Each structure stands twice: as C-alpha cells, then as structure tokens.
Structure 1
Amino acid sequence: MDDDAAPAASGYSPPGIARSPLVVQVRTVDDRTVVTVSGAVDVTSAQALRGRLYEAVRQSPRGIELDLGAVGHCDAHALDALLRVRRHAMDHGKTVTILTPGADMSTLLSETGTLPLFTAGSESGSAQDPYTELAQLRRAMRTRPVIDLARGVLMASFGLSAEDAWQVLVSVSQNTNTKLHRVAGGLVGAVTGDPLPEDFQELLAATVAKVRTNPGQEPRQNPGQEPG
C-alpha cells in the first residue's frame, strides 16, 4: 500500500456500536484552561472537536489541558485533530497536554507512539515533529479499521457490548504480548476461513467468559507489557 494513501475503510463503523454525541466543555482552573471531552470522536465529529480546541487555545494564555476520560470510540480522525491542534498551539508558543486519555484514546495514542507528544515538556525536540506525526497518523489509519472490525465480530459472535468486546481485545493482546491490531487481524481473518491457533481460541474463550462474569471491568495492564 502507498503510504500516502489512507485506507478507504478508515471511517468504518462496526454494526451495533452506538456513537455518543460529542460534548466539549471548557473551564478555567486557577490559571489553567481545562477542556473536558466526551462522546465519540470519529470522521463525523473530529472537525467539530478541532474547531472547539482551536478556540480554547486562542483564549488560553498558556495552552490547554485535555480530560479525555469520557471519550468513547475514537479513530485516526481523532488523532489527526489532536496533532493539528498541538501544532497550532506550538505555533503560538502554547502547549496541549492530556491529563486523562480514557481507554480507547489511550490505546490509539499508545499504538502510534504519540502519547509523549501530549505530556509535560513535549514541546522539546519539535524540529522533527511534522515527520514523526505524519508517520504516526498513517500508522493509525492503517491499523484502526481492523480493530473496529474485530470489535464488531466479537459483538456479533458472542453477544458482547461494545465496551466488553473492547476489553476482550485488550486482554488477549496483553496476555499474549501481541500488538492489538495483530490480534484484531487474526479475528477478522477467522471470519473468512483463516484458522486460529488452538491456544489462541482457548484464551479467547476464557477471556470472553471472564468478561461476561465481570462486564464493564477495565482490563489490567501486565507489568512490562508493550502497549497496543
């Protein structure tokens, strides 16, 4: 695939996943501007988010701090919005820091290696940022669609909620020390007839059973586990 071409499926929405409306709230805490975002950030809402964050940056004397803990589904368009806002802030001598990423956003940032760009002191080494950010965005746009597809497969196959299907993917990824998009690719391939290894099938079944017993419980990160 040409690296300059984003996959046509990057806006794919798995069946059965309800998308909460985007809500952006800006408040001042002491001399800090804190922006709380909730809902889905995807192809239909990323532009609106970018506009709100641009405005928050313009009105803030030093930059903005983002609380993304209530963000649900997010894809490469969300990452694109955040990177553009960060670049806009840096051009005006300001910063964009993420206080709380939330589960989906945390995985997206970890997969693309972009989380350090949104931590304190991330403005250092900005000379290579345009190239780094472009490569990271391309990677996200390649890997996110298959993750969303696998999420839909789990929901349809096991009757899981969107949140529980996500927990199954993350747990299997962590327990096998396998990149999340590779786990997702294996599940999607199984739908078209590619066999899953027996030990993988057993782990998947055990994880589904565990999630059903404790629905909505956050998967625990294993010590030393490589993210994503």
Structure 2
Amino acid sequence: MTAIHPDGDRITVKVSGELDLDSSERFRGVLREALSRSVHGVDLDMGGVTFCDCSALNILLTLRQRALEQAKTIALHPVSTEVDRLLDLTGTHALFARPSPDDQGAPAPHVPDTETSEDADYDLRIEVAQLRRAMQTRPTIDLARGILMASFSLSSEEAWTVLVAASQNTNTKLHSLAGDLVTAVKGDALPDAVQEQLSSAVARVNSGAGTTGGEAEGQEPAQAAD
C-alpha cells in the first residue's frame, strides 16, 4: 500500500506491506509518478514495510539513476527492519541517505557531460554487482537461518543473531559460515571453532544475552569489503 503527498519541493511516499515481484509493477509506477511530480526528489517512508526482496531494491536503484539524471535525489527514511537488512546486505544504505538541508534547497544543475555520464555508469555497475551478490548469497543465509530455527527452536531474529555472532567470533564471512552450516546438514562436519561459537551464541540467545538485531544487520557489509 502506498500514499503520496507533497512536502515542500519534494514528494513523500509512504509505503507499507510487502514489496515483492507481485507488487513490483505498482511500486515502480507509484515511484515514477512521484519523481515526475517532484522538484528536488522523493522521500520514501518505508517504516511500514514488512517484506522487501531484491526486486524492490532493483526498482529503487533504477529510480535513483533516473533521479540523478534529473538532478534530484531519492531518500529512504524511516525504514523497517526488513528494508534495513536488505540495504545492509547489499551495501546500498549510503545511496539513499537523506540530503542535507543545503542540498534540498539548492540542487546542483545537471550537466550531461561525458565525465558525469561515465561516473553514473560506474555507480550503476557497482550497484548491479552488489545486487547480484546479494541475490546469490541471500538464499544460503536464509536456509542456514531456517536450519538454526528448526534445530534450536529459535525465532527468525534469534537465528540471525546467532549466525552473525558466530561469524564475528570466528572471523568468517556470514555467507561462508552459512554455507558451512548448510553443508554440515548433508553430512560434513563443521569446524570445531565454528561449532563452538554457534553453540555459545545459541546459549546466549536463550539466556537473553545475545547481540541486538541492529548489530547483526551491520555486520555483513563490513565483512564483504575485501
């Protein structure tokens, strides 16, 4: 569900519910309309989004590119836990930061020179690469979370916390640790250090002393910067 209303020289779009392939066409159409009606850009209130997949992120990245071509900006604030996690996993938080008051009042004119075009193409290639990586690793991470949920009667958030804690304490990339866990279900043994940290993290979560979801969500992008 979406609602559009003007906010000075920007347009605010409030989004709630699930953002997936089924809702992608409507979501894309609403955002394009909002961008065309705005003077300086679009602010997205995504605090009510309960599910957000890579198809929605792809729409946001495309909209951002279109906005840049028009000397406008796209900002996401506030965002729900689901949206925040997707932005963290893909390293795209900074692309949708809220503009400063000075930027809002006086956006730089768009000059379609060669250098600007090349920079925009480079940024888009980075965004596409980040999106592709997220789409490749996310299924394994989600499967590993499911295994932990079934094995230790954890909630989705608790399983995420366990994965991240074990990843941090063993200095292993989140998606690599998730892959080891999935493989272990098929018969391969987990490394002793990983098994020990997983057990410790589960014990901490069950005792109420685990890390918070916010700490978890910020962990994967930092590890992926190699």
TM-score where L is the length of structure 1: 0.73
Pairwise CA distance, 1:83: 0.8
- Is 1:46 the counterpart of 2:24 in the alignment? yes
- Is 1:78 the counterpart of 2:50 in the alignment? no
Equivalent-residue separation in structure 2 for 1:47 and 1:182 (angstroms): 34
RMSD: 3.1
Selected match of 2:186 from 185, 192, 197 = 192
Which deviates more from structure 2 when the two are superposed, residues 147-156 or residues 104-113? Answer: 104-113
Higher relative contact order (CA 8 A, sep 6+): 1
Aligned length in residues: 204
The correspondence of residues 139-150 of structure 1 with structure 2, limited to 5 A, is 139-150=133-144
Selected match of 2:33 from 47, 52, 55 = 55
- Structure 2 counterpart of 1:97: 75
Q: Structure 1, residues 86-111: CA drift from partner, whole Å, max 9, x if none? A: 12322333211223444343343333
3-state DSSP of counterpart to 1:221: helix
CA contact (8 A) 2:180 2:190 kept: yes
- Is 1:34 the counterpart of 2:12 in the alignment? yes
Equivalent-residue separation in structure 2 for 1:170 and 1:36 (angstroms): 31
Pairwise CA distance, 1:29: 4.1
Which deviates more from structure 2 when the two are superposed, residues 127-136 or residues 27-36? Answer: 27-36
- Structure 2 counterpart of 1:172: 166
- Structure 2 counterpart of 1:135: 129
Indicate how the Cα distance of structure 1 residues 203 and 24 shifts in structure 2: closer, same or farther if over 3 A, else same: farther
Q: Structure 1, residues 2-35: CA drift from partner, whole Å, max 9, x if none? A: xxxxxxxxxxxxxxxxxxxxx3343444444333
Specify every segment of 5 or more residues in structure 1 that has no aligned partner in the other structure, as ranges.
1-22
- Is 1:115 the counterpart of 2:93 in the alignment? yes
- The one-letter code sitting in structure 2 at the alignment partner of 1:197 is P
- Structure 2 counterpart of 1:13: none
Selected match of 1:204 from 193, 198, 218 = 198
Which deviates more from structure 2 when the two are superposed, residues 69-78 or residues 157-166? Answer: 69-78
Equivalent-residue separation in structure 2 for 1:60 and 1:29 (angstroms): 9
Larger helix fraction of residues: 2
